[in-house]
Amino acid sequence: MPTLVMKFGGTSVATPERIRNAAERVEREVANGYDVIVIVSAMAGKTNELVGWVEETSNLYDAREYDAVVSSGEQVTAGLMALTLQERDVPARSWQGWQVPLKTSNAHASARIEDIGTDAINAKFAEGMKVAVVAGFQGISPEGRITTLGRGGSDTTAVAFAAAFGAERCDIYTDVDGVYTTDPRITSKARKLDRIAFEEMLELASLGAKVLQTRSVELAMRYKVKLRVLSSFENADQGETAGTLVCDEEDIMESNVVAGVAYSRDEAKMTLLSVADRPGIAAAIFGPLSDAGINVDMIVQNISEDGRTDMTFSLPTNQVERAKSAMETVKNSGDVNYTDLVTDEEVAKISVVGIGMRSHAGVAAQMFKALRDEGINIKVITTSEIKISVLIERKYTELAVQALHDTFALESAG
């Protein structure tokens, strides 16, 4: 039997009624002749609540216990989905990550999937089970502890299952009907894309578009998984053309130079003032930051005056305290002698992404002009082959996204 993976995000399983609605879609695919693997998220808001309880209980919490707590939301929805299917006479059972087993690295709270055992689930399919409902987001470490895959990780569970079981397709059901040119919550002009290239989706996801977890796109690209994003709220008779297909660049007809605009509010900027401009200074700063687990993103080094320079970098807001203490340590040890450390926690990163940029000059100039016309100051700029990112004052996030969406005419195709 061909296999299909269907993943339902938090809003799609937010209540028993929504679970029934999702189960109806699953039943339809069973009737179409598929063995179905359903990956479920926790009910909407549940994971946030669990994280809140952990933080309230312990300041510098043990990540193994964090995972024990925050993985529990998916356990509930997996059981409820299996029960709902059974009520509809669909042979189904639930599986926790450790039961599958879905083996991961030891990196608690952001573990990587290392292996998915297919024997147990396949044996049940062979016995006539039609649906395996699997708790997303969670796995088991080499030490036998429960791990989680980072926020939004159920997407990655879904794609990994599709790869492991050679599924015909991996359908990601969510609260929007596909991938848009930007977050539809920011502008009503956002347009749904019928297709998007893996490379573009990867950039959009890593630059803040949370519709798919970055790692899920990486896995789909590597294992050639047919990945589709669609709504669990729309009419179920949408057929195979519903939603957005994430696919190879060659399979895309419509092409704007810019495919989309992404934003991330979760950004901070740090500047070390007046560090010695000498060989090894970057290593002396960014080595310890990396050792402290800080995800440094953008880096700017100013021109040198009198042998001294300023070094600016961006990082996630929740890592600022750790970065500060790492920098104080290097200062005290005499390795990096800066005069002051300035932190700006009110910034956001806005990015435009498109494979058309490879062959199109002038996108950066157009972007900077659009921001200038809105009176938005750019603090830091980085570019790569298919993206340009700027750091701006956070209060201008919506305005900047809307201005860029307009300037690149993303509302209309081609």
- Count of positions on this chain that bind ligand ADP (CB under 6 A): 20
**Contact pick of 42, 63, 246, 355 for ligand ASP (by CB under 6 A):** 42
Stretch that binds ligand ASP, among 18-26, 40-48, 88-96, 277-285 (CB under 6 A): 40-48
Cα–Cα distance for residue pair 291/267, rounded to 1 Å: 20
Query: Measured from the CB of residue 134, what is the shortest distance to ligand ASP in angstroms?
Result: 13
Stretch that binds ligand ADP, among 5-13, 51-59, 329-337, 369-377 (CB under 6 A): 5-13
Decide: is 209 part of the binding site for ligand ADP (CB under 6 A).
Answer: yes
- Residue 47 contact, options ligand ADP, ligand ASP, Mg ion, none, Cβ 5-8 Å cut-off depending on partner type: ligand ASP
| Conformation bin of residue 304: beta by default, left when phi > 0, alpha when psi is -120 to 50 | beta
**Contact pick of 151, 210, 226, 379 for ligand ASP (by CB under 6 A):** 151
Residue closer to ligand ADP by CB (options 185, 222) is 185
Structure tokens at 8: 């339902």
Query: Measured from the CB of residue 9, what is the shortest distance to ligand ASP in angstroms?
Result: 6
Query: Measured from the CB of residue 73, what is the shortest distance to ligand ASP in angstroms?
Result: 6
Decide: is 152 part of the binding site for Mg ion (CB under 5 A).
Answer: yes
- Residue 90 contact, options ligand ADP, Mg ion, ligand ASP, none, Cβ 5-8 Å cut-off depending on partner type: none
Residue closer to ligand ADP by CB (options 100, 176) is 176
Integer angstrom CA distances of residue 321 from 30, 315, 344: 50, 11, 12
Amino acid letter, residue 6: M
Residue closer to ligand ADP by CB (options 165, 180) is 180
Structure tokens at 102: 């879905």
Structure tokens at 55: 């933080």
Decide: is 288 part of the binding site for Mg ion (CB under 5 A).
Answer: no
Amino acid letter, residue 93: R
- Residue 136 contact, options ligand ADP, ligand ASP, Mg ion, none, Cβ 5-8 Å cut-off depending on partner type: ligand ASP
What is the binding site for ligand ASP (CB under 6 A)? 9-10, 41-42, 47, 73, 136-137, 151-155
What is the binding site for ligand ADP (CB under 6 A)? 9-12, 41, 152, 174-176, 179-180, 182-185, 204, 209-211, 260
What is the binding site for Mg ion (CB under 5 A)? 9, 152
